[in-house]
């Protein structure tokens, strides 16, 4: 019975920080970003691995010791993953506002687009990314299929695999602005996924149709693990 208690408490200690993080977001009215199914699957795996390590490898003496060692397990897992060449670092990517194509208004970073004068301005969105000059920016208009999906995330990735910007939308037809260049965009929801090539040109609007594909269980699982590791 004592071994079972140490196993369970050690597993709970591992996932407790993420539970607290998700709970605080829910209480404050925020949305939990990421792949929910994958996060649940990843959390279950972390629970099992942590319980095993705390009980048999870290040799916890009692329930209190098991909890504290369980909390420390993710650091150990991340260290091992980095040693194996798996990156678990948090990204400092810029968050880009998105504007539904059929919405009239001007939205700036951090703004809500509800200024009266904005009704008479074109629909655009800007990402300052630490730079005030928008002359080198272009616009991308996404048309996402299936049409009825929501909670769409877009990650903009440079050719050297660095995530430089992220955006979120509740509509399938939306615009965003970013600095000109060639990128890869990962467009996904909790159940759908697609990688597409982007070419953003100065002061031009490029329309792109993206048909999302159903995520397999392995991709859902792996993205959930990545999400849990990045929240540390």
pLDDT tens-digit map of 133-171: 445 899 999 999 998 888 899 999 999 989 999 999 999
The pLDDT of residue 113: 37
Half-sphere exposure of 26 (CA within 13 A, CB side): 6
Give the pair of three-digit tokens for residue 192: 């759908």
Residues sharing a CB contact under 8 Å with residue 137, sequence separation 6 or more, in sequence order: 126, 127, 177, 178, 179, 180, 200, 202, 203
- Report the chain's terminal Cα–Cα distance, integer Å: 31
The pLDDT of residue 34: 55
The DSSP secondary-structure symbol of 146 reads: S
Cβ neighbours of 42 (radius 10 Å): 24
184 pLDDT higher than 60 = yes
pLDDT tens-digit map of 90-118: 457 788 888 898 754 433 333 333 333 33
Regarding pTM above 0.75, the answer is: no
Average pLDDT, the chain: 75
Determine the Cα–Cα distance for residues 127 and 136; give it in Å rounded to an integer.
Answer: 11
Tell me, letter by letter, the H, E, C secondary structure of 55-98. Answer: HHHCCCCCHHHHHHHHHHHHHHHHHHHHHCCCCCCCCCCEEECC
CATH architecture of 94-215: Sandwich (2.60)
Determine the Cα–Cα distance for residues 92 and 32; give it in Å rounded to an integer.
Answer: 18
Where along the chain do its domains lie?
2-83, 94-215
């Amino acid at each position: 019975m004592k071994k079972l208690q140490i196993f369970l408490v050690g597993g709970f200690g591992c996932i407790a920080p993420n539970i607290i993080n998700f709970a605080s977001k829910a209480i404050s009215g925020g949305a939990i970003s990421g792949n929910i199914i994958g996060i649940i699957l990843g959390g279950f795996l972390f629970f099992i691995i942590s319980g095993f390590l705390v009980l048999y490898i870290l040799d916890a003496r009692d329930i209190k010791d098991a909890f504290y060692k369980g909390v420390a397990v993710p650091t150990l897992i991340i260290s091992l993953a980095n040693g194996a060449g798996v990156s678990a670092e948090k990204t400092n990517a810029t968050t880009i506002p998105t504007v539904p194509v059929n919405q009239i208004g001007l939205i700036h970073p951090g703004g809500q687009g509800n200024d009266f004068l904005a009704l008479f301005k074109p629909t655009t969105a800007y990402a300052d990314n630490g730079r005030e000059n928008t002359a080198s920016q272009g616009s991308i208009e996404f048309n996402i299929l299936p049409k009825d999906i929501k909670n769409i995330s877009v990650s903009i990735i440079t050719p050297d695999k660095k995530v430089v910007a992220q955006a979120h939308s509740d509509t399938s037809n939306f615009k965003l602005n970013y600095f000109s260049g060639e990128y890869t965009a990962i467009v996904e929801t909790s159940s759908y996924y697609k990688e597409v090539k982007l070419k953003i040109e100065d002061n031009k609007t490029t329309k792109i149709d993206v048909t999302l594909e159903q995520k397999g269980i392995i991709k859902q699982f792996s993205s959930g693990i990545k999400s849990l590791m990045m929240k540390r």
